[in-house]
Structure 1
């Protein structure tokens, strides 16, 4: 990847990657850090990458960076508390955000990641496979089970679907 192609990648993907990272972390500052880390790693590895794979590579790198950071701070509950305090961007009303946040907390990070990418960002199943390095059947099964689990929790919380 040439420096010009790298700059095009930044222009093409920075905003969308930031929205994705904000959904993952529920914190704009952390999302900013993840985006910066992903693009820094893209720059470091630009000679080994082609522009056509940069998008999925960026998302995978951002997700892995988030997981690495989570592991580092796992012992410190501040990370979890900060996640719980931040509003999700799935609904416009505060009450709905609270219910959805509680419902999302029953999902694993992997399940949240797939739901955010597919249902919120609109990625195809193929793109999800590239980003998460999961098989197509595993992506579909995980999404199905995640949605079912999320729906059950929302109904349990009296959320009107």
Structure 2
């Protein structure tokens, strides 16, 4: 499956009152090389194993494969991950025909809030809420795999 998404910084926390879902996420990387990241995630009460390929030239699209796994297995795999487990809360906000996923980061990435929107095509249009800030699509500093090794607090 090809994932098409755009990524933005968030201006303030007014998005929280618009959220229809909120989940704590802990995630780590078994491999964080850009050509193939292998991620382990616990989101709420579910575990996931995800493999992502490198982004295309525009930074909008890349291959993604994801499978749900038992939380107990995800917890065990997190112990094998590279240093720098990501800790965040994800808020989901519906705008028009799309859903924004807004991640508020903690610990070493405290103060960073990033919104992502998955699109149907690279030319898909969408409603931009007033809390949406600067676009950072394709900027590797805002990839979770990068943040796990180069946390926001060190920028």
**Whose RCO is larger (CA < 8 A, sep 6+)?**
2
Question: Which structure has greater strand proportion?
Answer: 2
Question: Which structure has greater helix proportion?
Answer: 1
TM-score normalised to structure 1 length = 0.27
